[in-house]
Structure 1
Amino acid sequence: MRVLRLAFVILLAIVLIGVALANRQMVTVNLFPAQFGQYLGGTWSLTMPAFIAFLLVVMFGVVIGLIWEWLREAGMRAELSRRAAELARLEREVGHLRPARAGKQDEVLAILDTASTKPAGAGSTAVVPAAGR
């Protein structure tokens, strides 16, 4: 997987360098239409190489897309939080019900139930019957 990722990054770098070399001419980017210049106080324009303008537009689109998706998924994140709280509440409830239920079982089932809820390595030892007895 690392090799594929590295190959993709190298290929992307080659393509971006090719685009940059092919579009080195200077372009003027107007931030507002010329008619608004008199109301905004001056000319709002930048002169830059064409490839920089292209990369800025792509980066702007990526940022807008990330913000859009973050806002779209806000409801999903809230639902996930509600479900996690409900799961924690139900696990606490089941944990409180186990000891009450264990008293009504016979002794063997109660021992098995407490052994299954005890964390691994918490002092539990396995008893192996001796051969020949």
Structure 2
Amino acid sequence: MKTIRYAFWGIVALCLIAIGIANRGLVTVRAMPETLSDLLGVSPDIEVPLFVVIFLGVAAGLLIGFLWEWIRESRYRSEMRRRGREADALRQEVGRLKVEKHEGKDEVLALLE
């Protein structure tokens, strides 16, 4: 299983390297449209290789997706915490009742009941 995992990540790494080599040309990334930047007098733009833009876009998409899913599942996590606390309380109550029922009796007879 480890070999398959390493092979998979090796193939992913090779694909990412190939994408990086194929898209190494510089592109200008602008924070706002030209007309708006001319109007405001601020032009925040940067030149980076295209593969950096692609990888950052994929990373941002993954991060947004994970965050969205974590928020969506919050009600299920809170329900599981509530059920866990309820189960712990019931376990404690059962243990307390076992002790009270067989208190002062012979251990062998208590086990038979």
Corresponding residue for residue 57 of structure 1:
57
Q: How does 1:16-27 map to 2 (within 5 A)?
A: 16-27=16-27
Distance (Å, rounded) in 2 between the aligned partners of 1:60 and 1:41:
28
Amino acid at match of 1:31: A
How many angstroms apart in 2 are the aligned matches of 1:63 and 1:106? 62
Q: State the aligned residue count.
A: 112
TM-score, normalised relative to structure 1: 0.74
Q: CA deviation at 1:109?
A: 4.1
Alpha-carbon distance in structure 2 between the residues aligned to 1:109 and 1:4: 57
Q: Spell out structure 1 runs of 4+ moving beyond 6 A.
A: none
Tell me, in whole angstroms, the C-alpha distance in 1 between the residues paired with 2:89 and 2:75. 21
* Partners of 2:45 and 2:79 in 1: CA distance: 45
More helix per residue: 2
- 3-state secondary structure, aligned to 1:24: coil
Q: Any idea what the Cα deviations from partners look like across 1:35-69, whole Å, max 9, x if unmatched?
A: 22145541121211111110010011111111111
Q: Tell which structure's C-alpha radius of gyration is larger.
A: 1
CA RMSD in angstroms comes to 2.1
Aligned identity (percent) is 39
1:112 is displaced (CA, Å) by: 4.7
1:110-129 aligned at under 5 Å gives the runs: 110-112=110-112
Q: CA deviation at 1:71?
A: 0.9
Provide structure 1 residue ranges, at least 5 long, that are not aligned to the other structure.
114-133
TM-score (norm 2): 0.86
Which fold has the larger relative contact order, with Cα–Cα distance below 8 Å and residues 6 or more apart in sequence? 2
Task: State the match for 1:6 in structure 2.
Answer: 6
2:91 maps to a residue whose letter is E
